[in-house]
């Protein structure tokens, strides 16, 4: 039995919309799937290296930020595609700015991972 949209509490509808958004994101672009695949590997590495609570918090925040920025980039691409005729000539600049935001976030995430895991690897080796 399916509950109609009108009968759901607002908080539950928001969860349904979020799940649908993730599903659309995974189907629209393989990049989000790659983030999830790499993220699972990073989480597994966190267990292997026995990260502290603060390190876990940093790791989860970094992972959440990269996923959020990628989802917003997909949203931006969809908006540009849908309103191409109304936006005008700056489409390439808009998309490049979105891509730059994704790359900046990814570089920051890689630096955070290097800091978190690099110190653990150095301890394990030396």
**Could you give the angle at the alpha carbon of 22 between the alpha carbons of 11 and 46, nearest 5°?**
100
**Could you give the angle at the alpha carbon of 33 between the alpha carbons of 28 and 38, nearest 5°?**
155
User: For residue 25, what are its two tokens?
Assistant: 């994101």
Q: Give the start-to-end residue ranges of the domains of the chain.
A: 34-125
Identify the architecture of domain 34-125 in CATH: Orthogonal Bundle (1.10)
82-111 pLDDT per residue, tens: 888 877 777 888 889 999 999 999 999 999
Residues designated as active site: 70
- Which residues belong to the annotated binding site for substrate? 70
- Which residues belong to the annotated binding site? 70
What percentage of residues in the chain have a pLDDT greater than 90?
A: 49
Distance CA 69, CA 65 (A): 6
Q: What is the pLDDT of residue 103?
A: 96
């Amino acid at each position: 039995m399916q509950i109609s949209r009108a009968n759901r509490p607002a908080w539950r509808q928001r969860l349904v919309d979020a799940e649908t958004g993730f599903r659309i994101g995974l189907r629209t672009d393989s990049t989000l799937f790659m983030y999830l695949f790499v993220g699972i590997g990073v989480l597994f590495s966190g267990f292997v290296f026995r990260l502290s609570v603060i390190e876990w918090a940093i790791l989860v925040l970094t992972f959440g930020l990269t996923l959020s920025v990628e989802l917003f980039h997909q949203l931006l691409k969809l908006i540009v595609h849908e309103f191409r005729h109304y936006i005008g000539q700056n489409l390439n600049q808009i998309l490049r700015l979105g891509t730059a935001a994704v790359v900046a976030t990814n570089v920051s995430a890689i630096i955070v991972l290097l800091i978190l895991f690099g110190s653990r690897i150095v301890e394990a080796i030396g």
